[in-house]
């Protein structure tokens, strides 16, 4: 047996060896995950069993070596939605919340909007749209079976009515009917393949298919802007998340495919993060 205060110090010491960790926050998360209660609820002198201590130390070692905390916990918060995540699906991020918050302003102005989420992954965007724009009809497209399972489970878990469709964005003929959607929104793969191997260790555990895109990371923006344009109603919105250094490139793509730029989204860190364009 070991008291919680001593164990917590051991855990934070292990986690501090990974510069990408937030040792105290993550130690608290792991404690609550294994013990079922927070450190404050249990108290500093709570006696932790040897089995639980070994499990917690093992998880800290795993996290120290770069395995994502979100995958260890099996779920992660997106707004106030608790979404299941694991290997095979992209982890929801705060940057995407910033894009969604900007998007809600425009979606909420439309009566009973039809919304299409491309590259839906865990369903974070689609489910957030449905929750915060409740009169919307939302369809979520995801290609890969592992991610699609998380999409379906999160729909079931939240009870939000989103239609999951397993399909490839690039095989668009079957889904693109003219004047169907008021809004198309996407956080597509956008990292330049040249960056592979240069990113944080944690990112290496996420599916490369959800991260990297050819044409210097711009393939999806070029394709969606052009080939999904007929599916948007006149005046409909196309909303993208992008990398902090891609603002000009994506803006130029949208200009070339005859969209009007409505808003450029800046995330909470002050970085360019997304764009809202309108079909004209």
Q: What is the DSSP string of 45-74?
A: TPEEPHHHHHHHHHHHHHHHTT--HHHHHT
- Spell out the domain ranges in the chain: 2-66, 88-279
| pLDDT score for 175 | 61
d(CA 205, CA 221): 24
| pLDDT score for 198 | 87
- Annotate 109-163 with DSSP letters as a single string: TSSS-EEEEES-TTSHHHHHHHHHSTT-EEEEEE--HHHHHHHHHHHHHHT--EE
In a 13 Å sphere around the CA of 137, the CA atoms on its Cβ side amount to 7
Series of mean pLDDT values for 10-residue runs along the chain (280 residues): 95 96 97 94 92 98 98 98 98 97 97 97 98 97 97 98 95 72 98 91 96 97 96 96 97 97 96 97
Are the CB atoms for 264 and 258 separated by under 8 Å? Answer: no
The answer regarding whether domain 88-279 maps to CATH 3.40.50.150 reads yes
Bridge-based pairing of strands 162-166 and 181-186 is: unpaired
| pLDDT score for 171 | 86
Are the CB atoms for 279 and 232 separated by under 8 Å? Answer: yes
d(CA 56, CA 33): 9
**pTM (predicted TM-score):** 0.94
221, two tokens = 């923006």
Burial 219-258 (b: 16+ CB within 10 A, else e): bbbbbbbeebbebbbeebbbbbbbbeebbebbbebbeebe
| pLDDT score for 178 | 76
| pLDDT score for 97 | 98
| pLDDT score for 33 | 97
């Amino acid at each position: 047996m070991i008291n919680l205060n001593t164990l917590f110090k051991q855990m934070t010491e292990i986690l501090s060896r990974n510069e990408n960790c937030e040792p105290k926050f993550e130690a608290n998360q792991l404690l609550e995950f294994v013990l079922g209660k927070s450190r404050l609820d249990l108290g500093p002198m709570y006696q932790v069993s040897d089995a639980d201590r070994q499990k917690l130390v093992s998880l800290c070692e795993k996290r120290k070596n770069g395995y994502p905390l979100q995958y260890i916990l099996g779920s992660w918060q997106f707004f106030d939605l608790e979404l299941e995540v694991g290997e095979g699906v992209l982890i929801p991020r705060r940057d995407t919340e910033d894009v969604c918050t900007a998007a809600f302003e425009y979606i909420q102005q439309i009566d009973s909007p039809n919304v299409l989420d491309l590259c839906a992954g865990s369903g974070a965007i689609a489910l957030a749209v449905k929750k915060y724009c409740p009169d919307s009809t939302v369809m979520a497209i995801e290609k890969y079976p592992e991610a699609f399972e998380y999409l379906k489970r999160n729909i079931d878990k939240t009870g939000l009515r989103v239609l999951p469709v397993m399909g490839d964005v690039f095989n668009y003929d079957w889904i693109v009917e003219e004047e169907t959607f008021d809004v198309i929104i996407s956080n597509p793969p956008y990292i330049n393949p040249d960056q592979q191997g240069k990113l944080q260790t944690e990112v290496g555990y996420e599916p490369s298919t959800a991260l990297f895109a050819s044409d210097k990371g711009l393939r999806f923006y070029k394709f969606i802007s052009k080939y999904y344009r007929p599916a948007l109603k006149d005046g409909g919105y196309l909303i993208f998340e992008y990398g902090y250094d891609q603002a000009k490139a994506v803006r130029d793509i949208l200009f070339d495919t005859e969209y009007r730029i409505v808003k450029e989204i800046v995330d909470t860190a002050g970085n360019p993060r997304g764009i809202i364009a309108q079909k004209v």
